[in-house]
Amino acid sequence: MTPTSTARWPGLLRHVVLFAGALLFLFPFYYMLIGSLQAEPDTSVAGAFPTSGLTLDNYRDINSRVDLLGSLINSGVFTGGVILGTVVFGVLAGYALARLRFRGRGTLFALVLLVQVIPFQLLLIPLYVLIVRGYGLADSYLGMILPFAINTTAVFVFRQFFLQLPDELFAAARIDGAGELRVLWSVALPLVRPALLTAVLLTFIGPWNEFLWPFLITKQADMQPLAVSLANYISNVAARAANPYGAVLAGACVLAAPAVGLFVAFQRHFISTDIGSGVKG
Amino acid sequence: MSTAHTAAAPAPGAAARSPRPAGRGRMAAVLGRHPVGMVLAAPYAVFIAVVFAYPLGFAIWMSFHDYFFAAPGAVVDRPFVGLDNYRAVLADPAVRQSFGNIGIFLVINVPLTTVLALLLAIALNRVVHARTFLRVAFYVPYVTASVAVVGVWLFLFNAGGLVNSVLGPLAPDPSWLVNAGLAMPVIAVFVVWKQLGFFILLYLAALQNVPKELYESASVDGAGWWRRFRSVTVPAVRPATALVVILATITGANLFTEPYLLTGGGGPNGASASPVLVMYQRGIQQGQPDVAAAIGVLLVIGVLLISLVNRRLIERD
């Protein structure tokens, strides 16, 4: 756009509107942090910008009611299991769908598309019946991980990335007598390494933030991921605590921090339009 | 589109193929040229079968039978009951109310999400200063757990919260989350805020594909901002709009965490209960998985119908 006088004002206006929107979007996060550090909740406007009296008591309080470390470990195992399953089996499936011709490939790819539009909630009751009642996997990591074990969106993204690699590369490797696994491991994977990171980050936020499924299948407090134990605290215990919001917000900060931290550290990988084009097909 | 691209490209390994023995050619005709692909894709195929296909069939089967929880290993009779579960569901006032609630939710959430995501994506696409900061700000609610941000919304919107102290005498009474008329709209706005970053991302990807020449020729023809937006941008991102509307509808129909936590289990008096929340109450708390499965099937049929109608409308426009 040329910097004529007609173009400059909309440009300035655009920045003003975007900054105002961005601050509005970020404010709840700022308020979460401030609220978690205040000894007494101060809901006046001035209370949102305190100058003194900040304390870590709320973190001690939530830690005495919810086993923060144990819950974080449960969240970590749940998320790690999903990432491992997605990276190992998702990459294999994505590679096969993109570069190999075999019977049933078209059907499988149609399923990849279909799975993405089936709401998980329709499967909720049968999965609960099968996994909890049928296989007896309530209160276990395996039961938590199973429905999410291979992230279909990630399979789709992997396929897109493998499709973008030049054909000659694969032809050359195959002429040299390399088997398919060797081609995948030594030729294709090194070239899609940045994409792999994108897919891992994308997969991370699913199970780390997931509430409904682990909530259904974990009744023992020592097996619950942080999202579940914090939610139970919000719905059951909070009303009886001295500074309920302070403790809730402290727990919320602990739950939000890893996802937000990873996102900010690797924001370039989210912001690349790869995810958009991957989902879009 | 990508599939067509691969099919048209010269076959991988074509050069090495000619001296192949006849036996392998016959195998290739049955199993495809790279049968090893079946092995590599097998774990995912099994996963789909176990976690999606079988439960999907099971849900539909369950909704037509008298299904109840029994001790593991016990052999019990689960007779076919036809449409009984569906009749029970449709006669249940709580279920009807929850479908009405989700209708209110979708009417507020989907248009707001689509319009805001498109406008913000267009603005972000052109912005030169503080690009990263702005994008991070709009994406960050999307990557954060609902449970965490629900905590701070509870704090903001409770009767004595910051929102009401800013509004002063204008604060609604009863307050936001315990007001039957306002609980669902607050949840709808919460979800717009939470999900917007993802939809902005989809629109940003779509905007990369709009040819710059179209804007230039529109400008030469003297088209103003609104005209360019209506005649160039909106038609060019139409496929993305269809996707955004469908995904926002599916996300909305899956609503559970927000009414469960933000309004204390769909309150006040079920005014913010969602179908999935009622599914949870009927199926798991009250031990009627057959009724819950019927709610699920009806919900999915509803989502499919809305998606089809939307698609027609968006593509016809």
ipTM confidence score: 0.86
CA A133 to CA A129: how far, in whole Å?
5
For position B15, what pLDDT does the model report?
A: 41
Measured N-to-C along each axis, helices A244-265 and A5-37 cross at an angle, to the nearest 10 degrees, of: 130
Whether residue B9 is predicted with pLDDT greater than 60 in this model: the reply is no
For position A4, what pLDDT does the model report?
A: 44
Query: How far from chain centre, in Å, is Cα B74?
Result: 38
For position B7, what pLDDT does the model report?
A: 37
For position B307, what pLDDT does the model report?
A: 84
Q: Which of residues 260-279 of A touch B (CB under 8 A)?
A: 260, 263-264, 267, 270-271, 273, 275-277, 279
Is the Cβ pair B152, A252 closer than 8 Å? yes
Instruction: Compute how many other C-beta atoms are within 10 angstroms of the C-beta atom of residue B86.
Output: 17
CA distances from B194 to A251, B84, B147, B251 (A): 19, 38, 11, 11
Q: Which of residues 83-112 of A touch B (CB under 8 A)?
A: 89-90, 92-93, 95-105, 108-109, 111
Q: What does pTM read for this prediction?
A: 0.87
- Region B130-136 average pLDDT: 87
Is the Cβ pair B293, A125 closer than 8 Å? yes
- Residue B187 CB-density burial (10 A; 0-12 exposed, 13-18 middle, 19+ buried): buried
Q: Which domains does chain B have, with CATH numbers?
A: 93-316 (1.10.3720.10)
Q: Which of A102, A163, A249 has its CB closest to that of B38?
A: A102
Distance (Å) from the alpha carbon of B228 to chain A's nearest alpha carbon: 14
Instruction: Compute how many other C-beta atoms are within 10 angstroms of the C-beta atom of residue B43.
Output: 17
For position B147, what pLDDT does the model report?
A: 93
Whether residue B120 is predicted with pLDDT greater than 70 in this model: the reply is yes
Contacts of B58 in chain A (CB under 8 A): 126, 129-130
Q: Which of A92, A136, A147 has its CB closest to that of B51?
A: A147
- Residue B229 CB-density burial (10 A; 0-12 exposed, 13-18 middle, 19+ buried): middle
For position B224, what pLDDT does the model report?
A: 79
For position B173, what pLDDT does the model report?
A: 81
CA A274 to CA A256: how far, in whole Å?
24
Q: What does pLDDT average to over chain B? A: 85
Q: Where are the beta strands (DSSP E) in A144-269?
A: none
Q: Which two tokens stand for residue B253?
A: 């129909």
Is the Cβ pair A252, B40 closer than 8 Å? no
CA distances from A255 to A40, A209, A225 (A): 22, 8, 10
- Region B121-144 average pLDDT: 89
Q: What does the DSSP 8-state code read for residue B170? A: G
pLDDT tens, position by position, for chain A (281 residues)?
Answer: 444 444 556 678 888 889 999 999 999 999 999 999 988 877 778 778 887 778 888 899 888 888 999 999 999 999 999 999 999 999 999 999 998 888 889 999 988 888 877 777 788 899 999 998 888 899 999 999 999 999 988 898 889 889 888 888 888 888 888 788 888 888 888 888 877 888 888 899 999 999 999 999 999 989 999 999 999 998 876 556 666 788 899 999 999 999 999 988 888 776 654 555 444 43
Q: Is B270 left (phi over 0), alpha (psi -120 to 50) or beta?
A: left
Q: Which of B15, B72, B225 has its CB closest to that of A133?
A: B72
Q: Pick from B89, B127, B143 the residue to mutate for testing the A interface (most A CBs within 10 Å).
A: B143
Tens digits of per-residue pLDDT, B217-272? 887 887 777 888 888 888 889 888 988 998 899 889 999 999 999 888 887 888 99
Distance (Å) from the alpha carbon of B25 to chain A's nearest alpha carbon: 13
Is the Cβ pair A103, B30 closer than 8 Å? yes
Is the Cβ pair A93, B40 closer than 8 Å? yes
Beta bridge partners of B65: B80
Q: Which domains does chain A have, with CATH numbers?
A: 81-225+254-280 (1.10.3720.10)
Q: Which of A43, A115, A256 has its CB closest to that of B52?
A: A115
A180: nearest CA partner in chain B: B36
CA A82 to CA A80: how far, in whole Å?
5
CA B285 to CA A78: how far, in whole Å?
24
Max Cα-Cα span within chain A:
72
- Give residue for tokens 């997605």: A86
Q: Pick from A9, A99, A102, A117 the residue to mutate for testing the B interface (most B CBs within 10 Å).
A: A102
For position A73, what pLDDT does the model report?
A: 96
Closest CA to A151 of A75, A214, A102, A79: A79
